[in-house]
Chains A and B, each alone.
Chain A
């Protein structure tokens, strides 16, 4: 079998440099986290020229260069890039295996591609060119032995096609050990022993190696010597469960459409239950006749396989939507979540009726009808300004209330307006007219001062509670910055 090793060295750093092309000529490092003592994971060439190497702490490196730029390791961006690269490489080979240990390495099955690309070098060049377009510096090595081509990929950037397996073995023996991602400890051990290349390493007795340095060294020996059979384990792209429903002739009757959807939902849940998966959300794509397609996403309160519940939520969502034309095709796509078979059985049986669950379902229906953010709950925050003392957060669950404090008599409740009402300036004459329909101010309590937030939008407010002739208590403030009175709310 002919294999190809695609090695994108220091992929996370390359991604950071792609984000900041202006950094390329400067020393740049990638650190594990945003703190001065963070470990340097990667360093570009200008940084390495200044003796800044991975393993150093950022603050140590700064002593070597005050011009040093730092990028923070972003695992999410890396994962996205790896997914994208995986998809990209599947265009060149049906067998693509992302390496388990190194984020920048992919293994490709390079057999039988000559018909498409005429020669292996042309195939390799194509890959290189695609990756170059993504601004990634890459090595592509094609050969026979997995470890040998990996080792050789570390030797130079670009394409290297090795036709002769024996030559491949000989060349690989010259590769320095420090290029091969060995653990620092093992590398140091062999360095001290004067074992600097793969060839030096392979001349050590294998049994002695295992006895002294354990499985890592022995496994390396076996891989490097070709004693381990390492077949390509291509990753299969996850197949999305999809149901397509052709409607002939196009129809805009919701009941008939739902009836059709129901049949396909049964088929979908059957497939999912076999895959030990449950639905967390359903994408409903409606292709319309002579009108743009419509896409709705229906989210469930919990992973489910309950067709009736799913159908009910789809009905709510579609009835809230007006169709610009008759539907000619419906595509259902599942968003799923893997579950244990035992849990799956529970999902299929249905769950006991409990009020909180019912409430959760009700909320799910509201979300289905009005969108994900339509159900929110207030969460208290410890801030001085009333408008900052709470926040709304989307919620999918409801809880039983648990009051933290008990009162002998009902507490006074301050209700405030979403946007404070601007009050007129206090008239010099006839001040009793100031509050208008709220009545005449009788008694003031205050001021209660909030003065701070000087680091952003500073606030300077004097709050008062005003008893009015209409038996109301108003909650007002004077804003010294704006030089205006505002009605914040009322007190019940």
Chain B
């Protein structure tokens, strides 16, 4: 006998137990020349797709199973293996049952649970007491698993197992519990055990395995271990033969939709598409559109994807029926069918978008439609999907949470018994001062890199990185099935009530070619929806996503100034800086704007050539006449993924499917280098097509630089549409825009204070929180025929659902403070917050008097008889000066409508010749000056080579501050913490874009309270 098959193998998807990745185990088995290997993770099949992919690649057989945790007759476990498709289905259902009858992250089954699902499953049992009860369920599919881990504690147990197996005539099989592919992983397995049990290594004792015998052994090693009974290993081969199931047998069918009688899926989809396109193109549809529809429908029918489109259509219809705004994003916008069905809002024909980016025959992979839904109503849609398809037919996709360097250091360090404060310090240094865990980082954190324990910390933390830690839920991915999903993959309860989640993540879904429906939350849609509602109510204007006036010149003028705070996608500091250079005048310019400020085009050095050509400083050139058609709209510079694909098709001779593969390899090139496979092929073919080698290389380097950060044009177009709508609303309806933006928070880049200040600068009257006028949300009010915004109670810090309910049940006006206190029955802290925020100014009392009086009223709030105010000695309080009121506002509600904190400092600043933001932005290029402003945004993009971008604000506007790495480090405390920052630097002004380059940061030494104001930091 030459071989054996390891039947009890646990990967690191047996969370915090297994110490090797599934692919490592499969590779090792292949290297040892083993004919097959099983993967039997604890209570799950989380890692089988990874193992299956590797096994397919190497041509080794993979047995699929799991180690099931049992509660009866005592805490134990049994390993089961799927013999065939039915067995796998039973296994998945069994695991689903186990998980759904206990809390998240655990599974519990009793013997009765096993019985209905035991068919087509082989069981391997190490527990002598379980053999007899399991025999009833598994009959001749039960084996007694005899192990030899060279562990003295197991000897008696194993003898007992043998005795019982002989008595019951149950065949014995030999095999060890495999937890890692090489003995070198024993330390890591020990560490994982400690993390799982929450103990340190020196105190773990027998929780740790006594030796390193849980590695994947060669056949020779196993023969030595089972020298006396070689037939036990022979039986592993017999078992492997009995298991014929492979994941390739999974036949996934997308759920069929309810169809009108007599119509096939294709007929119905075709009907809905043509019906939809008639609405999109009233009158005759352009022949190009009709031709494209025919092509798409034919491909959809050929690939049998009709059901998927109908599902998306149904979801969109549900959203419409419930007045929930939604819009498809991503590559779906390349499809006319999606446009006709109302799934997407961008016309792909008009924008000349590439359908193959969405769906191709060569690829034969499921299409990917992502649907954006207004974020505060997404749960309604999710629950509707559960109800529509049923809990067994729909479940959310998992997200595997993995160890990252920081979490690795914390958890490994804890098991090594290192002080938690030191670990915290070290982990914080990573990502700020150091990118990797190194000797230098250890030294900086005060740890001796030569100490053995710190060496262990280094090596084990590096090993554990990327290990799965636990399962979470994907933000919006659903797996739907024609057959119950729990026959494909086990379903578990999610941490969030009402959610169920499968054991696979999106990569596993993609690898198996399953359909995923992505329902994503988008705050901008919530905002737009509310804004439309407000305009209907206050201005009698009825807008929809489609009816917002197109190509509005004043909107584009505003955008071109970079005056876009609060708009979707084009409000970031980088976007604001780009807008005055690009000066969008049409919708397509906006599509480019959305796509160009991305790491892909920036790293691919595409931004500046494009801007130069746009400004007429450089001529657009096309290396091949055919490419003019592709690159003309972006002036010869490829900015979108589709363009790269089209180049490959037109001058590289790629088929659309190959071009899509190029796009995928582009996305993965950093990790796999797969893009290089295209180099020779693409260059050679381009040269054949009379493109100069230099230009061919340039195009290829751009493709390489594009990487995963480039946008598909369709996606940029979908986003640009929402960007345009939000910009239009901001330009023409600033009050409604501000109000809806404030009510949709938290979202976007800016704090409520900045939004309020921006609105005020644009002439919107913003009124403070007021007990007699405010509602829970911010609201509009009419004043002198213009609309103003009244801040809502939702902005009082600490206010939540309780307070929301109270304000929905009681209504203004209130006669006085006592009336308010009695009727609202708010808590003491809530009342004091309101007093501090100045909400009782309407009762003609100072904030301090309100604070004093509330305490007294509260003492007698329970009295049914309202008596006159207690007449004790009168307390006199100093008035709160305006500047302090502003600070109080910030402290209690993170904004102030009464003024900008810096406005009151202005006389002092002016005395020192410090300009306002407005003045600074009009200084000539190269001017050196000082400036003092409030830090409202701090960005440290990974692509910016250590530069930190700040947005400083004062009462007149923003200043774009650039802080180079060495300056940041020199003034690191100030740079990291200062809310009010003084800067000395140089003006850099070009094409209307002004940057202030810092030479020196300083503390203005002006009393400025830090509580209440917040800085948004982005990395």
Contacts and interface: CB of A to CB of B under 8 A. Distances in A.
Given A192-B848, A455-B456, A383 B872 contact: no
A452 B150 CA distance: 13
A452 B973 CA distance: 45
Query: Size class of B's contact patch?
Result: 35 or more
Interface string B431-448: 001000000000011000
Contacts of B876: 203
A66 interface: yes
A384 B205 contact: yes
Contacts of B864: none
Interface stretch (B62-70, B106-114, B422-430, B679-687): B422-430
A211 B201 contact: no
B419 A205 contact: no
B425 A451 contact: no
Contact of A63 (B445, B848, B976): B976
Contact of A384 (B201, B210, B420, B848): B210
B461 to A, nearest CB: 14
Contacts of B151: 448-449
B32 interface: no
A205 B855 CA distance: 14
B976 A64 contact: yes
B859 A59 contact: no
A62 B880 contact: no
Contacts of A36: 420-421, 423-424
B862 to A, nearest CB: 15
B261 interface: no
A38 interface: yes
A382 interface: yes
Interface string A416-455: 0000000000000000000000000000001111111011
B150 A447 contact: yes
Contacts of A70: 421
Contact of B187 (A50, A203, A454): A454
A59 B874 contact: no
A176 to B, nearest CB: 15
Interface in B148-207: 150-152, 155, 186-187, 190, 201-202, 205-207
Interface string A331-348: 000000000000000000
A455 B421 contact: no
Interface residues of A, number: 46
A388 B186 CA distance: 20
B873 A208 contact: yes
A106 B589 CA distance: 76
Interface in B825-864: 836, 847-848, 851-852, 855-856, 859
A35 B444 CA distance: 19
A65 B186 CA distance: 37
A382 B206 contact: yes
A213 interface: yes
Contacts of A450: 210-211
Contact of B424 (A51, A58, A449): A58
A24 to B, nearest CB: 17
A38 B206 CA distance: 31
A62 B425 contact: yes
Given A194-B880, A451-B212, A34 B419 contact: yes
B872 A451 contact: no
Nearest to B150: A449
Given A194-B878, A454-B186, A65 B421 contact: no
Interface string A51-90: 1000000110011111010100000000000000000000
B848 A31 contact: no
Given A36-B420, A449-B210, A450-B210, A212 B855 contact: yes
A59 B428 contact: yes
A463 B152 contact: yes
A60 B421 CA distance: 12
Interface in B402-433: 416, 419-421, 423-425, 428-429, 433
A212 B856 contact: yes
Interface string B946-978: 000000000000000000000000000100110
Contacts of B875: 204-205, 208
26 contacts: A34-B419, A35-B421, A36-B423, A62-B428, A64-B976, A65-B973, A66-B429, A193-B851, A194-B848, A194-B877, A194-B878, A205-B872, A205-B874, A208-B872, A212-B855, A212-B856, A388-B205, A446-B150, A448-B152, A449-B151, A449-B210, A452-B208, A452-B210, A454-B187, A455-B187, A455-B202
Interface of B: 150-152, 155, 186-187, 190, 201-202, 205-213, 416, 419-421, 423-425, 428-429, 433, 444-445, 452-453, 456, 836, 847-848, 851-852, 855-856, 859, 870, 872-878, 880, 973, 976-977, 1010
Q: Which 5 A-B pairs have the closest CB atoms?
A: A205-B873, A36-B424, A212-B855, A448-B152, A382-B205
